[in-house]
Structure 1
Amino acid sequence: METNVVDERARFACDFLSGQWSMVELCERYGVTRPTGYKGLARYRTGGAAALEDRSRAPQHSPRRTDVEVELLLLAARRQYGWGAKELLQVLRERHGLLRKHRRRRRWSHPGAAALFTDAPNQVWPADFKGHCKTGDGQYCYPLTITDHFSRRLLACRGLPSVRTALAKPVFRALFREVGLPDAIRTDNGAPFASTGIHGLSALNVWWMQLGIVHQRILPASPQENGQHERMHRELKRETARPAAASARAQQRRFDAFRQRYNTERPHEGIGDRTPSSLWTPCTRDYPARITPPEYPAHVEVRRVSTAGTFRLRPGQPFLSQVLKGEDIGLKEVGDGIWNIV
């Protein structure tokens, strides 16, 4: 038997109006949602079966639609000369003055976005969590991975029970103490690396800034901007988590073995079929024993951020971020009542 959508919609409406079926029963029978059922019923009551035809989804109004006069000129010139779009637009702009250049809307870019280029080790360290896996004992494992972009060296791969800052920060601290500080760390915009607050501040990236490390962030939903790191993740998952180990400790042993092979045995085509360990060298900046507070020029007003994340600024106490509580910030007036945080 063959039928079409319009007939099915009409039959649905007739079945409902017969009073033998409820809306819930009919929707289950015809495999549609209740909002769809009520919508079709309303259209049938208004205009009968003819109103159940598919309607155009084209917008009824288009503010940017080309004027009819311009369309006719374009078609006439196209038929007469056979020119392409660029030539036709230039002629209409110069001879008739009908077209004008529209200012392009500036593309939004979040703070911290930066192009990725390195020519020496430890300039940029990509870092990320490789999803999660469930070990044989029922525990979740979230591997935190850190690489050096130039040499491809996998600097750290630590399985953690969650992505909380309290667990991720010790991994970075241990790595900083072992090999030193990079120029920049590159991550996505998820926790714990960034937040949805002002400038994406989080406890982790504030700590990096205090250490003099630039935090680079890829654009949202753009993992290809950390493509090299994502490629390593594919190998990591294939070799260590399919299937996962019996316990978290056994899973970490797999991560350690993978890191050893990845750094010292596996040749990488992107670096001339060499190994990452043959290119990588330790950082030139050591991890400091204590963080030195920032020093501001005399013309900058200094305010301390309260435990609530606010600071004093006449006529009130603007909120900044709780991750900066207890820290001193500099304020520079750039206009009447307009301040920059420096």
Structure 2
Amino acid sequence: MSHPNALLTPRGRLQLAQCVVDQCWSLRRAAERFQVSVPTAARWAKRYRDHGPAGMEDRSSRPHSSPRRTATRTERRIIAVRVNRRWGPARIGYLLGIHPSTVHRVLSRYRLAKLAWLDRGTGRVIRRYEHDRPGELVHVDIKKLGRIPDGGGHRVLGRVAGWKNKTGTTANRRPGYHYLHNAVDDHSRLAYTEILTDETKETAAAFWQRANAWFQAQGITVQRVLTDNGNCYRSRAFAQALGPDIKHKRTRPYRPQTNGKVERFNRTMLEEWAYIRPYRSEAERVAAFPDWLHAYNHYES
């Protein structure tokens, strides 16, 4: 939107028209003064004579009639496919024999939500939220991650050799799992993570005490914590670790999207650290984690 006091916006148009109509300037003189063409000066002068100052406002560029507009019946078919199947313009266009750009214009005209804004299971618009201040809510979760056997897994050795290396007969060759305990602030997305060996209640409680101390060192006072309904989070040990000043909230059963911020952090962590390149050992991957987490907290937007 243009600035209301800029040249030849409603205020400038009114001044131009008043010079021509009220002060009897010639069209050429007014056009030179306001740095426009003579036809433009004539157009605003005529509109001022016909409608007064109200005629200086912008008018819609929409045509009065659109004889080539998509038929109403076709628009309804497009909307029905979008609502029922939740397809994009390309798939809808292929099904109905319509160009995808036409489908996109119809969807935009009726302001149908983008697919990225919808829950694919229900078709409802996803409600997104963000707390106003850091510490009002911290999302906590555990991500189970398979360890890489010494010598590398299938990403280094190939599918067959990697599987043989992973499923060796001796117990010390079986890599097992690491458990990444994560805490993500809802407002700032600041994250604290530890790579631990289990997900017991004692481990989860001790992790939260260290995470809370870390957030306090960053100047964040945690008020509420949101977790899933895992056994470690329903334990007395975790409740004692939270203390009386931090309120504990749990997600609805079978609704991981309720804890979506930490779930999205888990995905980012896997894409940008765990699976970003083929590691030859778990120790190599673990050694790369602190640098990635530092970059995530300090350099990513």
Shorter-chain TM-score tier: 0.3 to 0.5
Give the alignment's TM-score, normalised by structure 1: 0.39
